[in-house]
Amino acid sequence: MFKSGFAAVIGRPNVGKSTLINSLIGEKLLIVSDKPQATRNKIRCILNTENAQVIFLDTPGIHKPRHGLGKYMLKTALDAIEEVDVLLFVVEAHQPPGPGDRHIADLLTKTDTPAILVLNKIDLLKDDSESIKVQYELLAPFKETIEVSSKTRENVEKLIQAVISLLPPGPRYYPEDVIVDQPERFVAAELIREKILGLTREEIPHSVAVTVEEMR
């Protein structure tokens, strides 16, 4: 039985959502930056297996917006919660829940969409990791808890199988050779923006935009 569906990756800013999706897909598709709100849009990244197709949505970090761009990104993230088949709530395994994590967990208690708790960055774990894990698990009724490292890809395959298990039967929404729903120019522009964010601090605001006019 072939299964397919949409999985939104949600969490507060800078918990490694984009890095996780890159790891799940096995390709560098999404911008990664230590600056908050590097992700602006719902970008669909497609994972194809023999028996399933998972469309992962990379959403902006859920936060309290300070400006118009922030409000737009927050709405984008919140809309995703009700539009998908599975939610991946990404948190930092080495940090206890903060106000932002608790706010998102509260949103999860108000939806019928099944959620997986993803404890990311287990490569940074310390001795009190089990206590931190329990604190997160008590925040909402998660279907499963999976500890992963986006950096080393530890348990990434286990997470993929957990997501697939929650998907309904369905068709392939995209051809097998498609791994992102954006044109090549968009991906190139995002990678350029990533470099700009990495090389600048106060000089250029992190809301900088890049347009690719020609590719050779």
The pLDDT value given to residue 82: 77
- The residues with which 4 forms a beta bridge, in sequence order, are 53
Q: What is the CATH number of the domain that holds 96?
A: 3.40.50.300
Please check whether residue 57 lies inside any domain of the structure. yes
Collapse the DSSP code of 79 into the 3-class scheme (helix H, G, I; strand E, B; otherwise coil) and give the result.
Answer: helix
Q: Is 216 a member of any domain?
A: no
80 belongs to a structural domain: yes
Residue 110 resides in a domain = yes
Neighbours of 108 (CB within 10 A): 19
pLDDT digits 0-9 by tens, 167-186: 999 999 999 988 887 655 55
Chain segment 16-51, per-residue pLDDT in tens:
888 899 899 988 766 554 444 444 456 789 999 999
- In three-state secondary structure terms, 196 is helix
In angstroms, the Cα distances linking 139 to 22, 30, 31, 117, 167 are: 27, 29, 29, 10, 23
Any domain includes 210: no
Token readout for 207 is: 């809301």
Residue 58 included in any domain: yes
pLDDT score of 14: 84
Identify the pLDDT of residue 39: 44
User: Residue 20's domain spans which residues?
Assistant: 3-183
Is residue 37 within 8 Å of 100, Cβ to Cβ?
no
Domain membership of residue 200 (yes or no) is no
Question: Is residue 198 in a domain?
Answer: no
Percent helix, strand, coil in the chain (nearest 5)?
35, 20, 45
- Judge contact between 38 and 197, C-beta under 8 A: yes
Counting the structural domains of the chain, the total is 1
The pTM for the full model equals 0.77
Regarding predicted confidence, which is higher, 128 or 72? 128
